[in-house]
Structure 1
Amino acid sequence: MARPRQPEFDKKKVVAENRRARFDYAVESTYEAGIALTGTEVKSLRFGEGSIAESYAQVTEEEVWLINANVPEFSHGNRFNHEPKRPRKLLLHAREIARLHGAVARQGMSLVPLSIYFNSRGRAKVELALAKGRKAPDKREYQKEKDWKREQGRLLRQHG
């Protein structure tokens, strides 16, 4: 029997997406986390700027931090502008943080941000994945499976 899929988060406007993450990592579960931002960071994200390509999340004591995410300076921010690659605090429930900390510490998993988006209430959110790294043979197998599913869809559309 197939494993039931988790419901998708309410994404209204996706600002930044880490498309490489699903290829490099086998995603076990996903979490929606709030992100603590300053005013100029929010404005910069609303203009669609930002990148999480080389970023990761880190659990320290009882907090989760987004490291190396690039939110460029806001053009009209003058002296109130922010540092583009500063660590940003992620907002999660204490139980979720404890679960993530246990998985990272004991099972050797990684916390990878998949996307930054604004939800229907206009709040900036991060889709965070608890994932295991894939080795090169696993990546090739994943690519073959993905290509076969795409080909299957084409065949079904043509002959169905």
Structure 2
Amino acid sequence: MSTQLHAVEIASGRVSDADAVDRVMQAAFEPRYGEAWTRAQCVGILTMPGVWLTLARIEGELVGFALVRAIIDEAELLLIAVDPACRRRGVAGALMRSMLAECRGRGVRRVHLEVRANNPAVALYAAHGFTKAGERRDYYRAKSGESFDAHTYARDV
């Protein structure tokens, strides 16, 4: 059995990509936690200054994205998602490298993010130089009413 790896193509996204982004987001985020944004939330923030969307495609199909907001010399990774069928293929790493390069190009000196404490994505962030900066107790609420801590991470660019 052989595994063929396909190149991850990175490109800038636009508001017109909102439907495809929403499909990836709904597949990527576990509904139990209620973390997925709505299509309207994504479209709304994309029209704001300093916000950009990066898309990841494999063989032309959207398989992941990152949504980032920069203000002066700081940025926040708002969302990053990869279709579960395409995980462990370098998509998230490619998105992280692209996001950090874009931040450097925009003069960003520090990047922040927030994540649910038990989210496996913490390993991705650590692999890209992010370190824990803080904690927000009981920040996230699941649809069941269960609460989860949020951890904030940051790294210099």
**What's the TM-score bracket when you normalise by the shorter of the two chains?**
under 0.3
* TM-score, length basis structure 1: 0.26
User: Relative contact order (C-alpha < 8 Å, sep 6+): which is higher?
Assistant: 1
* TM-score, length basis structure 2: 0.27
Query: Which entry has the higher C-alpha Rg, 1 or 2?
Result: 1
